[in-house]
Structure 1
């Protein structure tokens, strides 16, 4: 088994953390603004109708901010797992190629004629397509 491959930074490796930091910064800023205005009483007009209700606006803002925050975090952690899985897949593909090359070398260097045909006949499950 070969040692794990080191991961190199791709051309867009700066984009994911930057996007996450921007979205989280926007969320914190927005929540701070909401917290400053949360305790204000609703404004009413002369007829007693509510013109501006800070609690309602706060709820509406949270309906926008929280999905943005969870999307940023979910994207960050989901993409990180994808990168690791892709690196492992590349390593497994390299190992399979090396094993195939070694098997081909053994079969080609054998003095037994039609060794591959005999192996296919004796072990058909090893030659099945997956």
Structure 2
């Protein structure tokens, strides 16, 4: 198992900003989270998470989290939307999905330049 990448940590931090009263429980889970696996799907990526058994559950809520979390990615015109999926009240899967019809298969999501944004779009460079 590995550590979360910078992009994954930034996405989770943005998702936490959207949380209400259960934010503290999710933060506790994320302190113990490890990466079980990563996959570039060609339409984004999925990162399977493993949360320590001592972390409290968010209850039986299974709805995905991440209403308006967008990341501009070098090489993508539309960027990624981010969703954190829960399973039995525990963080289970972080999904980055291509907002537009773009192929992500050549992107190394662990090392790609990125920026958190308020809406989908290309990565802006200094002066652009």
Q: TM-score range by the shorter chain?
A: under 0.3
Report which of the two has the higher share of helix: 1
TM-score, scaled to structure 2: 0.18
Question: Which entry has the higher C-alpha Rg, 1 or 2?
Answer: 1
> What TM-score does the superposition give when structure 1 sets the normalisation length?
0.18
